[in-house]
Amino acid sequence: METLHHILAPDFLLRNSLYTSVLIGFACPLVGVFLVLRRLVFMGVALPQVSSCGAAFALSLPVWLGTLPGEQSTQMEHMLAFAGSLLFSLVAILVLAFLERRGRGIAEGRLGATYVVAAAASILILAKNRYAELGWLDLLKGEVITISNFDLALTAVTLLLVLILLGLFHKELLLVSFDRPMAITLHKNVALWDVLLYLLIGVTISVAVLSVGPLIAFGFLLIPALTAYLVSRNIPHFLVLASVLGGLSSLLGFWLAYQWNLPIGPTEVVLLGVIYALTWSISKLVSVSRAQR
């Protein structure tokens, strides 16, 4: 408990990392719920990797154009990485969703290929860049330890915007996800709402990737939503539970990592996995005992 008090103190050295981690923990599951409900879970693996590739590309662009990175501020560098990450995520999600809706080819194959090509391209881009060692690799791996005030503010504002839009348009986003023909008969512009949802997913993933890296971002997109699904009775319950579970797990994971000197992101994801396994086991036991009654 002493460690918990320590990390929650306002003068805690890594407070920005803690706050960012908890913000990501609360926000990612909210868009993850839509990925799960639309059966686009594997997009959650591919998109963070594409986002990471976009950041690598954007960071390298000034070097290729002859502008040295030292001439840019760290804030500028992070904005550049965010813009590249967002652009790549949005293009990828729109193309993949379009192909998914046409229903041709093997969707899993496309997503697998996207993942592996994006991962390889990120490595290639950075391998030929002598400035990559100067903190860029940390940025792309998502070293949650090195979060500046600017990064925290960028994350908080972006995620707050996502949260507000999700809250305002939740009704339409749910309708077009669940019953597209019905949405059309009710004169809803389904293409517009699809694009908005993909935009929100893309923005959240871009912010998460730059803060915690692609692996941890995927963990927070998927596992809280899957866990909450096991015990949710309705949609509002599902959304709130997934978000609260993600936020609290990231706080608890941070605490455990700090206590035992472990890497923060992986500790948080393993903790989410343990909670998922426990919830699944308990829900199965409950359903078996109900069936026997």
Partner 1 sequence: MPTNTLIQFKNVTLGYGQRTILTGLNFSILDGEFFAIIGANGSGKTTILRALLGIIKPRQGAVEFRDGQRLRFGYVPQRGILDEIFPLTARELVLMGCYGRLGVLRRPSKADRTLADKNLDRVGAVRLAGKRFADLSGGQKQRVLIARALMADAHAMVLDEPTDGMDLEGQHAILELIEKLRSESGVTVIYVTHRLNELANSAQRMLLLHEGRVRIGPTEEILHAEVLREVYGVDARVAHVNGKRVIV
Nearer to partner 1, 134 or 182 (CB): 182
Q: CA 253, 224, 172: angle at the middle one, nearest 5?
A: 140
DSSP per-residue string spanning 171-230: HHHHHHHH-HHHHHHTT--HHHHHHHHHHHHHHHHHHHHHHHHHHHHHHHHHHHHHHHHH
Could you give the 3-state DSSP secondary structure of residue 163? helix
Assess contact for 119 and 193: CB atoms under 8 A: no
Amino acid identity for residue 273 in this structure: G
Q: Which is nearer to partner 1, 175 or 195 (CB)?
A: 175
Tokens found for residue 105: 């080819």
Closest to partner 1 by CB, 133 or 179: 179
**Number of Cβ atoms within 10 Å of the Cβ of 101:** 10
Nearest-approach distance from CB 267 to partner 1, in angstroms: 29
Residue 175 C-beta: closest distance to partner 1, Å: 6
Residues that bind partner 1 (CB under 8 A): 36-37, 39, 168-169, 171-172, 174-175, 177-179, 181-188, 229, 232-235, 237-238
Closer by beta carbon to partner 1, 142 or else 224: 224
Shortest Å, Cβ 281 to partner 1: 20
Min CB(286)–partner 1 separation in Å: 15
Query: From the CB of 173, what's the least distance to partner 1, in Å?
Result: 11
Choice between 57 and 276, CB closer to partner 1: 276
**Residue 166: partners with Cβ closer than 8 Å, 6 or more residues away:** 30, 31, 173, 200
Query: Cα-flanking dihedrals φ and ψ of residue 89, to 5°?
Result: -60, -45
Contact 156, 204 (CB under 8 A): no
Q: Least distance (Å) from partner 1 to the CB of residue 269? A: 23
Minimum CB distance to partner 1 smaller for 40 or for 139 = 40
Tokens 């903190």 belong to 135
User: Shortest approach of partner 1 to residue 72 CB, angstroms?
Assistant: 40
Structure-block tokens of residue 73: 């501020």
Of 64 and 178, CB closest to partner 1: 178
Helix (H), strand (E) at residue 131: none
